[in-house]
Structure 1
Amino acid sequence: MATWCRSLFSNSSVSTVSEARSNGIDINNLNNFRFDGGVTVYDRQGATAEVIALESNCTQLVWDKEGDILAVLTDNNNVVTLWNSNNRSTKLLTINLGVNKTSIVGKHTKRITCGDFNEEDLLALGSEDQQITISRANGDQLYSYQCTGLPTDLQFHDTKLDVSQKSTRSVISVIITEQNLMLIQLHNPQGPVSLQFQARYGKIVQYRWCNDELIIIGFQFGYIASISTRDFEFGQEMFSIQDQRNCLSGLTVSAAFGKLFTTGDSGLKLRNLSNLAEASSIISVGGESTAFNGVEVTDDGVMVAANVDNQKLQIYLTRLPRLGAAYQNTVAYMSSLYEITVTCITNKDISAKLPLTFEPKIVAVGRRHLGIAVNNRAWYYVVSQNGQWLVMKRRIYDYRFTGIELQMEKEYMMSIWKMKFNSRYACLFGNGKLIAHEASTSFRITLMTKTFYYGNNDVYYECLL
C-alpha cells in the first residue's frame, strides 16, 4: 500500500487531523500534532510548516470545508484560534461576542456528551441524562428519544433515496454505553432501532458511515462488522470478521478510495469496501514501537496518518495523484509527489526527471516544453534534446532528453484551471478567460501574450482542448 512514508515525533500525546481536501501544495492537506502548549503543522514532506502558539492546552482541531483554515479549540472555550494556511496568519475569534445566542436551556438536565448538525441545520444532542434531542437552529425541539445508557459519538447522516438526490432521509447513529448502536430515522413512526452485538466482539471502539447504505463498526477485541441501512434490511448485520489479532484501536473509511483502514495489535490493515473478507494490505509497526493507536485518512484516501504509541505519527502515501499530460509521443507524469518525469512512449529509456519543491496541480507538455501550474502561478520549462536523423525505411528522429531548464515563472490574475501546448503557443484557461504565450522558434516561451474574451460579459469559456 505505502509508496511513501514519513515519521513525525512528539514528546507529548499525539492526535491527528486530516484535511477535507487532499490537493494542497505547500501548507494544505496537512497532518497535525496536538500537544500541550501549541500545534505543530507539517507539510507533506514532513517538514515543520508552522508552529501555532497557544495560551492553554489544545482540545480539538478542525479544518474548514475548503481546507484553507484550521480552527483550534483550547481549554479557554471562549476563544477559537483560526490559522490561515494561505498566508500563515493567525487570528483569535471570541465566540461569545456579537453572536445571536439561541437558548437550549431545559433540553437536557445533565452534561451534553455528543452532538451533530445535518444538512438542514437540525441539531441532535446526546446527554448524560440518557436523552437524545433534535432541535431546529432557532431552538425549537422537534423530537426527543430515551436511551438505555450513555450516548456517545453521535453522527447525523443524510442518505439519498433516489438517483436525482432530490429526496433524502435523515438517520442518526449513536453509540450507547459502548455496547449498542442506536439508529434513529427521523419522521419514522416505528421509532429507534437498538442494535446489540455478540459478547465476543467486545465494546464498540469506533464506527463510520461508508455510504448511504452501510455502516462499519470496529470492536475492542479486533472484530469489524458491517450494518445495512437499506429500507428492507435496516439495522441488519451483513458481515463480520476478526480483523485484528487481539484488539482494535482505530477505524476509518475513505469512500472515494473504496478502502477501510483499521489499526490494532496486528498493524495497519486495508480492506476493499467491495470485498471486506480479504485484507488488501498489512503494515506492521516495526522498530521499537509497540502498537498503532489510531488512524485518519484524507477524503480521497491518498494520505493515511497512523498514531504510533501516542507519540509518533506515520504518514503513508497510498497512491500518487493521477496527474500527467501527453503531446504526440512525449508524456509527462508525476513519478513522486515532488518529481515530474518526461519520457518517450516509444522508447522509455529516453526520459528526464524534474525535481520540485512543491506539489503541482496541473501539468502540460509540448514538443520541447513542460508546463506546471499551481493556483494562479505557472512555471515554464524547456526540455533540452539532442538527436539526429536516421535513414531507414522511413525517416525518424532519434533524440535524447538532456535536461529540463526553467525558462519562465509567471503569476496571473486568475486561477489556472488547465494548461495546453501546441506548436506555437502555451495556452492557459481559467475564470472564463484564455491566455496564450507565444513560443519562439528557439523553443523559448516569450512574453508576447494574447488574451481572449467573449464580447458578452455574461458568457465565459468553459473548456480548453
Structure 2
Amino acid sequence: MTASPKRLFAISLEEIGDRPKFSWQTGHGTHIAAAGSLNVITIRNRQGDEIASIPLKGPCLQMSWDKDGDTLAVITEKSNLVYLWSANSQKTNVIDTPAKDYTTVISWSKSSPILAIGTSRGNIILYDQPTAKKLPLIGQHSGRITTMAWSKDNLLAIGANDNRISVMSSNGTVLQRCDTTDTPKHLKFSEMKREKRGTYEESTVSAVIGKKHLGLWTVGDSNNNAASAAGSQLFTLNFQDKYGDISDYQWFGDGYIMIGFSGGYFIVISTYHKEIGEELHKTRDHKGYLSSIAISTALNRAATCGNGGIKIHELSDQYVIDSIITIDEGNDNLSDIG
C-alpha cells in the first residue's frame, strides 16, 4: 500500500454552508467549483486560492462545466434561470429560459457548445452558447426530467419520471424511445464490448432504474428500421439484495462497469454478451455505506467513498488497495468524490 495522497486544501462549511456540492473543471482541470447551503459558489485553483465568487438566488441544484472547461453552468432549485460563468473573462451571465416551469437538470454536449436544459414539466431547451439562441422542445416527456447525457456522436439521452428514456439529435429530432419500469437516473453513454461496432462511437445508453436495477439500451441507426426496433428494448440487470441500492456506477476499459452499492459493496461486470450479468469482481469496501465511485484511466485507479474514508484501488486488480484516505473533518458523512 502506498502513502496517502497529499492534501492540498479544504473548503470549510463556514465558507459555503452544509450540503456541499462540487464540480472539477473539465479540460484544464485547474479549477474546482463548490457550493453549499449559503447559496454562493466559490471557484478555487489547485492552491486553494479563490478565483471567483458567484452569489445565487437559491440553493444550488447542479453545476456542470462545458467540454473545454471554459464555461461553468449552474442551476438552482425552483428557478428557470441558468448562470453561466466564463473562466476566460471571469464574468457571470444569467439567462432566462423560455419555459414557465423550473429547470431540473443540465448537460453540456461532449462535442459542441450546446447546453441541454431539462425542466419540471418534461420540456427541453437547447442553448447554443456562441449565438445565445434557445431551441425550446415542448412536451418531450410527460413528467419531470431527472437525468440527461450526451454521447460523443452528439446525441442527447433524456430520462424522466414518466418512466421513459428518449434519444434525440442536437437539432431536437427524436430518434428513439424506450419505456422503463421505474424512474431512470444517472444516464450515461458508453459502448458495450462487442465483436462488431455499431453505427455510433457510443451506442449504449445506461441508467439506474429505480434504486436496484441497471438498465442497458442499444441505440440503433435511425435510418435502419431493424436496428431501430432492436434498440427499443431495455435490458435490465438485477443484483443481490444484500448489496442494497445502487449508489453510483462508472464505465471503464473495454466495456466494463464498476457499480457501487449502499451496503458498502462494489462489483465489476462486463457488458460482453457472453459475460453480461456475471460478477467479475466483488469487494465490500465499506462496512456501513458506499456513496460514490470515481475512476481515473490515466492513473489506472478507482476510488470509492463511504464511511471509513476513501479507498483507492488499482484498476488492473481491484483486490489491491493502493491507499486509504482519512478525512480530518470526519469519515462518516462522505457523499461524493470526483
Does TM, scored on the shorter chain, surpass 0.5? yes
Is the Cα contact below 8 Å between 1:121 and 1:136 reproduced in 2?
Answer: yes
Distance in 1, Cα, partners of 2:192 & 2:214: 18
Contact kept in structure 1, 2:33 and 2:43, CA below 8 Å = yes
Deviation by residue 1:431-458 (Cα, 9 ceiling, x = unmatched): xxxxxxxxxxxxxxxxxxxxxxxxxxxx
User: How far off is 1:111 after superposition?
Assistant: 2.1
Instruction: Please give the TM-score of this superposition, normalised by the length of structure 1.
Output: 0.57
**Secondary structure of 2:10's match?**
strand
Identify the residue that residue 65 of structure 1 maps to in structure 2: 67
Preserved CA contact (<8 Å) 1:119 1:158: no
Match of 1:52 among 46, 51, 54: 54
**8 Å CA contact retained: 1:226, 1:240:** yes
Shift of 1:74: 2.4
The structure having more radius of gyration, on CA atoms, is: 1
Cα contact 2:302–2:312 (8 A) shared by 1:
yes
Between Structure 1 and Structure 2, the one with more strand by share is 1
Residue in structure 2 matching 1:152, options 179, 185, 193: 185
The residue identity in structure 2 corresponding to 1:227 is: I
Percent identity (aligned) = 28
Distance 1:164 1:155, change over 3 A: closer
* Amino acid in structure 2 at the alignment position of 1:49: I
Query: What's 1:93 paired with?
Result: 95
Of 3, 6, 14, which residue of structure 1 is paired with 2:6? 3
SS in 1 for 2:236: strand
Inter-CA distance 68–121: structure 2 relative to 1 (3 Å threshold): closer
2:334 is aligned to: 293
Distance across 2 between alignment mates of 1:113 and 1:172: 15
Q: 1:59 to 1:215 in 2, by over 3 A?
A: same
Listed as ranges, the gaps of 5+ residues in structure 1 are: 298-465
Q: What letter corresponds to residue 288 of structure 2 in structure 1? A: N
Q: 1:63 to 1:133 in 2, by over 3 A?
A: closer
Residues 114-152 of structure 1 show CA distances to partners (whole Å, capped at 9, x for unaligned) of 222222332222222222222333444332222122211
Structure with the larger RCO, 1 or 2 (CA within 8 Å, 6+ apart): 1
Distance in 1 between residues matched to 2:137 and 2:243, nearest whole Å: 41
Q: Does 1:18 align with 2:52?
A: no
> When the two structures are superposed, what TM-score results if normalisation uses the length of structure 2?
0.76
1:206 aligns to what SS in structure 2? Answer: strand
Question: CA–CA distance in 2 between the matches of 1:48 and 1:222?
Answer: 35
Q: Do the aligned partners of residues 165 and 178 (structure 1) sit closer, same or farther apart at CA in structure 2, a change above 3 Å counting?
A: closer
**Is contact 2:151-2:202 (8 Å) kept?**
no
Matching residue's letter, 2:250? R
Deviation string, structure 1 residues 210-255 (Cα, Å, up to 9, x no partner): 2341111100110001121234323432211111112112211112
Structure 2 spans left out of the alignment, 5+ residues = 99-126, 221-226
**In structure 2, the residue corresponding to 1:276 is in which secondary structure?**
coil
Give the letter for the 2:244 counterpart.
G
CA contact (8 A) 1:263 1:293 kept: yes
Q: Contact 1:160–1:168 (CA<8 Å) still a contact in 2?
A: no
Deviation, 1:102, is 4.7
Show the 5 A alignment for 1:204-215: 204-215=246-257
Superposed, 1:183-202 pairs within 5 Å as 183-187=216-220, 189=230, 191-202=233-244
1:141 alignment counterpart: 174
Whether contact under 8 Å (1:21, 1:29) holds in the other structure is no
Change (3 A) 1:290 1:277: closer
Q: Is the 8 A contact 1:124 1:132 kept in 2?
A: yes
Post-superposition offset of 1:270: 0.2
Count of residue pairs brought into register by the alignment? 291
Give the match for residue 396 of structure 1.
none
- The 1:230/1:127 distance shift into structure 2, 3 A limit, reads same
